[in-house]
Amino acid sequence: MRHAEFTTAIPALTPTSATAPTAPLSNGGGKFGGIFNEVEGEVSDFIQNGGGDFATSATLSAEGRMWAARSQGATAAVMGDGADTSPDQQAFLASIAPWAKEAADKLGVAPELVSAHAALESGWGQRPLRNADGSSTYNLFGIKANAGWRGNVAESATTEYVGGAALKTSARFRAYPDQASAFRDYAQMLIDNPRFHGALGAGNNAHAFAAGLAKGGYATDPAYAAKLSRLAGKLQNVSG
């Protein structure tokens, strides 16, 4: 999904952190899997070419509209669509608030922007990357363990976008001892990597922050900046 250093871990039946199109909802065997395989490319092409109203589009078959609608539903769950955050989402935001503020201060952005990025990448903390023993890696930002990484590593399934199509693969990710370490590494990575300097100093400008990350190659999903910007804007409205 990203440059070799970054990617989002996506367990089965959950959308990627960049959710249009979502990761395959299923590719199981039998008639169910066969129908999905037939329409997956159709839905992906529709989205890539501008999309529109899935429910009424004449360019999608009935099966395509069904899968697109399911995809949108999964996306809405991760994006937290709606005016308010749920109790679980509020609990997640509270749990990361001190570290999000610390990272935000270093990056020159509003804390809500960092919290939104963590929420988007981790599905509001519901899709944490895990170590082999099942313990959390605290990697809420889907950061890969590249050749220069000297810390602990966990291998996990992930979804990469290639030519607009979501493909499942596996990758090695950074593992941290706690949330504080994860947020500090995230902030330092953005500061040290010149590709992401466009995201620094964005203040309250969610669009500038998201666009800077996307331009630097944080994600391969072409809609990534829009999704992060929308979620960050929602958190700013809630906190305001």
**CA pair distance 127, 105, nearest whole angstrom:** 26
Whose CA is closest to 123, among 12, 41, 30? 12
In this structure, the number of other CB atoms found within 10 A of the CB of residue 230 comes to 18
Query: What is the helix (H) or strand (E) element at residue 76, kind and residue range?
Result: helix 62-79
**CA pair distance 220, 16, nearest whole angstrom:** 11
Does 40 participate in catalysis according to the annotation? no
Q: Tell me the two tokens of residue 199.
A: 């995201």
158 SS3 class: strand
In this structure, the number of other CB atoms found within 10 A of the CB of residue 41 comes to 12
**CA pair distance 148, 136, nearest whole angstrom:** 22
User: Taking phi first (over 0 means left), then psi (-120 to 50 degrees means alpha), and beta for anything else, what does residue 110 get?
Assistant: beta
Kindly report the backbone phi and psi dihedral angles of residue 127, in degrees, each rounded to the nearest multiple of 5, phi listed first.
-125, 55
Catalytically annotated residue among 5, 40, 112, 160? 160
Catalytically annotated residue among 5, 40, 121, 185? 185
Does 84 participate in catalysis according to the annotation? no
Catalytic center residues: 160, 185
